[in-house]
A = this chain, B = another copy of it.
Amino acid sequence: MLELPMTKTRPKNYHHGDLREALIKAGRLILEEQGIAALTLRACARKAGVSHAAPQHHFATVAELLAEIAASGFEDFVAALDKGSANAPGPRERLKAMGRSYIAFAHANTAIYKLMFAAEVPLKSERLQFSMKAAWNQLVVAVAAVHGSENVEATAARVWSLVHGFSMLTTTRRLPPTVDQDDALEALLQQLD
**What are some 20 contacts across the A-B interface (CB < 8 A)?**
A117-B172, A117-B174, A119-B171, A119-B172, A123-B173, A133-B176, A151-B187, A153-B176, A154-B179, A154-B180, A154-B183, A156-B179, A157-B166, A157-B188, A158-B162, A160-B165, A161-B184, A162-B162, A162-B165, A191-B191
Cross-chain contact B187 with A158 (CB below 8 angstroms): yes
Q: Which residue of B lies closest to A132 (CB)?
A: B174
How distant is A190 from chain B, measured CB to nearest CB, in Å?
9
Cross-chain contact B132 with A187 (CB below 8 angstroms): no
A23: interface (CB < 8 Å): no
| Sample of 14 more A-B contacts, CB < 8 Å, known A117-B169, A160-B169, A161-B164 | A114-B119, A117-B168, A118-B172, A119-B171, A151-B187, A153-B180, A153-B184, A154-B184, A157-B181, A158-B188, A161-B161, A161-B163, A161-B169, A164-B169
Give the complex CA separation of A70 and B161 in angstroms.
Answer: 23
How distant is A51 from chain B, measured CB to nearest CB, in Å?
26
Write out the residue numbers on chain B whose beta carbons fall within 8 Å of the beta carbon of A176.
132-133, 136, 153
How distant is A14 from chain B, measured CB to nearest CB, in Å?
36
- The number of times this chain is found in the oligomer is 2
Q: Which residue of B lies closest to A135 (CB)?
A: B174
